[in-house]
């Protein structure tokens, strides 16, 4: 048995508990669901679950992309706006008479381009990640406002689009958005766990220096992450346009915070290198469940934003508390094994924390 105990960096230690999305979050969810059935019996009905799944699709798609970006030690604040803009592109092109599939592709393409622009600002101009994506948030929203001239795009809905938007079930069984989300989740999960680029995403997030020393292009990997995040936002936007039946200039506002919260309570960490697809799915479900429960309980939708923000703060708080206890535990263990190799000086550790 090894007598050498690990002294991983603080940032890494922090994530220990939450990195296992199976444990705490699921228990919390089950408890929450049980509690809700007492408050409102309709909560457990099949119809409501279908409803929740259909609702969760948007946050899920965004959380998917956000998780990838977070793994690569980035952050994408622009997803809400990009989602709105992509919805606008699809709706507008259909109104212009473009054939339906092409219009959808154009919407997704818009998301990909926004993601690429984010990546260029970050890797080429050296803007901090959140400033670049914050600028993109403002620009994408502004473009949509200008373009719609403040009034929603309407009358683009077609029967096909109802299908794509999930208003009608495919063959009366399941909606297309759910299928898309499930397929994408599986694909991304495989990509993260099995593929080369997945491995490199974790490496870049875990230690950019180690990745660079191993000959990995950190910029290329980051670019990939932002383009995927943009693409996910584009896809979510295209579906949202079909769901909402009109594209208001404010469509998608505030979704970035939902996506970030979902990704973080699902175990992704701002310090990079952490996060899994299961976590993002559970995170998105949690957020949607809470929103749904609040709806059923008759809480006005205005409260949702407040609650999401508080959940995010609580998640961070929990993070730190876990870290604190884990740290104490580690140092207690170390006392039992006296022969320790000295580790490098950690002088500035307390300086910046």
Partner 1 sequence: MNTNENSQSVPVAPADQPLVSVRGISKVYPGVVALAEVDIDLRPGEIHGLLGENGAGKSTLINILSGTVSPTAGTIRISGSESTIATPRDAQDLGISTVHQEQSLAPNLTAVENIFLGREIITGRNRLTGVLDEKEMRTRVLELAHEFGLTDHDIRVPVAALGALKQHVVQIIKALAFRTKVLILDEPTSGLADHERHTLFSYMRQLRNKGISLLWVTHRLDELFGLADTITVLRDGRLVATVDPAGQSAESLVRLMVGRSTLAAREDIVDEGRAHGFTGSRDEVVRLESVTRHPLLHEISLSVRRGEILGLAGIAGAGRTETAMVILGADRPDAGSIFLHSKPAVIRSPRDARQKGIAYVPEERKTHAILGDFSIKRNITISDLKRTAAAGLFLRGGQETATAKRFVSDLGVKTSSVQEKIRNLSGGNQQKVVIARCLFTEPDLIIFDEPTQGIDVGAKAEVYRLIYEFVDQGGAAIVISSELPELIRVSDRIAVMREGTIVGELESTGRDEAASETSELGERIISLATRGAVAA
Partner 2 sequence: MSIFQRSSRVLAIDGAAVSIVFLIMCAYFAIASPYFLSPDNIHNTFVESVSAVLLAAGLTFVLISGGIDLSIGSNIGLSAAMTLFASMNGAPTVLALLAGVATGLIFGLVNGAFIAGLGVSDFIVTLATLSVGAGVLQVFSASTQLTGTADSSFLALARGEVAGIPTGVLIAVVILFVLEIALIKTPFGRTIYAVGINPNAAYLAAVSVRRTKFLVFVISGIVAGIGGVLLASHLNSVQPGLGGGYELTAIAGCVVGGVALAGGRGSIWRAALGAFFLSVLSRGLQLIGVDPLWFSIVTGAAIVAAVAFDRGAQKWLQSTLRPVSPVAAAATQNAQ
Answer yes or no: are the C-beta atoms of 92 and 151 closer than 8 Å.
no
Per rule CB under 8 A, is residue 4 in the interface with partner 1?
yes
Which residue is listed with tokens 């958005």?
177
Q: Pick from 93, 136, 203, 225 the residue near partner 2 by CB under 8 A.
A: 136
Binding residues for partner 2 restricted to 300-329, rule: CB under 8 A? 300, 302-310, 312-313, 316-317, 319-320
Per rule CB under 8 A, is residue 305 in the interface with partner 1?
no
Residue 240: closest CA among 84, 11, 345: 84
Q: Pick from 31, 44, 146, 186 the residue near partner 2 by CB under 8 A.
A: 146
Give CA–CA dist 316/322, Å, rounded.
10
For 75-98, give one letter per residue: b (16+ CB within 10 A) or e. Answer: bbbbbbbbbbbbbbbbbbbbeeee
Torsions phi, psi for 170 (to 5 deg): -70, 115
Q: What SS3 state is found at 174?
A: strand
Q: Pick from 62, 63, 71, 143 the residue near partner 2 by CB under 8 A.
A: 143
Q: What is the DSSP letter of 44?
A: G
Give CA–CA dist 15/346, Å, rounded.
20
Per rule CB under 8 A, is residue 137 in the interface with partner 2?
yes
Per rule CB under 8 A, is residue 267 in the interface with partner 1?
no
Per rule CB under 8 A, is residue 340 in the interface with partner 1?
yes
Q: Pick from 151, 302, 335, 352 the residue near partner 1 by CB under 8 A.
A: 335
Spacing of C-alpha 204 from chain mean position? 18
252 phi-psi bin (left φ>0, alpha ψ -120 to 50, beta other): left
Per rule CB under 8 A, is residue 194 in the interface with partner 2?
no
Per rule CB under 8 A, is residue 8 in the interface with partner 2?
no
The site for partner 1 (CB under 8 A) is made up of 2, 4-9, 12, 190, 194-197, 199-200, 202-203, 205-207, 209-216, 273-274, 331, 334-335, 338, 340-348, 350-351
The site for partner 2 (CB under 8 A) is made up of 75, 77, 121, 125-128, 130-132, 134-139, 141-143, 145-146, 149-150, 254, 257, 260, 264, 270, 300, 302-310, 312-313, 316-317, 319-320, 347-348, 350-353
């Amino acid at each position: 048995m090894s007598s050498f105990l690990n002294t991983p960096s603080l940032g890494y230690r922090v994530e220990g508990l939450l990195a296992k999305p199976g444990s705490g979050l699921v228990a919390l969810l089950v408890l929450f669901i049980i509690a809700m059935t007492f408050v409102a019996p309709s909560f457990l009905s099949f119809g409501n679950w279908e409803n929740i799944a259909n609702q969760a699709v948007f946050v899920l798609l965004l959380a998917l992309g956000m998780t990838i970006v977070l793994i690569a030690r980035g952050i994408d604040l622009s997803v809400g706006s990009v989602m709105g803009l992509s919805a606008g592109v699809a709706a507008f092109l259909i109104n212009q008479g473009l054939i339906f599939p092409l219009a959808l592709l154009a919407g997704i393409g818009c998301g990909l381009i926004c993601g690429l622009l984010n990546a260029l600002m970050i890797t080429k101009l050296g803007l901090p990640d959140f400033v670049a994506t914050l600028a993109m948030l403002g620009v994408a929203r502004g473009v949509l406002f200008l373009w719609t001239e403040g009034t929603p795009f309407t009358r683009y809905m077609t029967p096909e689009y109802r299908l794509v938007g999930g208003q009608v079930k495919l063959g009366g069984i399941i909606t297309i958005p759910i299928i898309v989300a499930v397929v994408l989740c599986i694909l991304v999960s495989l990509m993260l766990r099995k593929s080369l680029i997945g491995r490199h995403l974790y490496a870049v997030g875990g230690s950019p220096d180690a990745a660079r020393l191993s000959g990995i292009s950190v910029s290329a990997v980051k670019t990939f992450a932002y383009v995927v995040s943009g693409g996910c936002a584009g896809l979510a936007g295209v579906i949202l346009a079909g769901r909402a039946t009109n594209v208001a200039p404010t469509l998608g506002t505030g979704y970035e915070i939902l996506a970030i919260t979902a990704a973080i309570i699902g175990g992704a960490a701002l310090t990079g290198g952490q996060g899994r697809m299961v976590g993002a799915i559970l995170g998105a479900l949690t957020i949607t469940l809470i929103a749904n429960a609040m709806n059923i309980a008759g809480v006005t939708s205005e409260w949702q934003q407040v609650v999401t923000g508080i959940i995010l703060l609580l998640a961070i708080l929990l993070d730190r508390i876990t870290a604190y206890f884990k740290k104490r535990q580690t140092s207690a263990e170390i006392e039992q094994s006296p022969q320790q190799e000295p580790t490098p000086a950690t002088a500035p550790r307390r300086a910046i924390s």
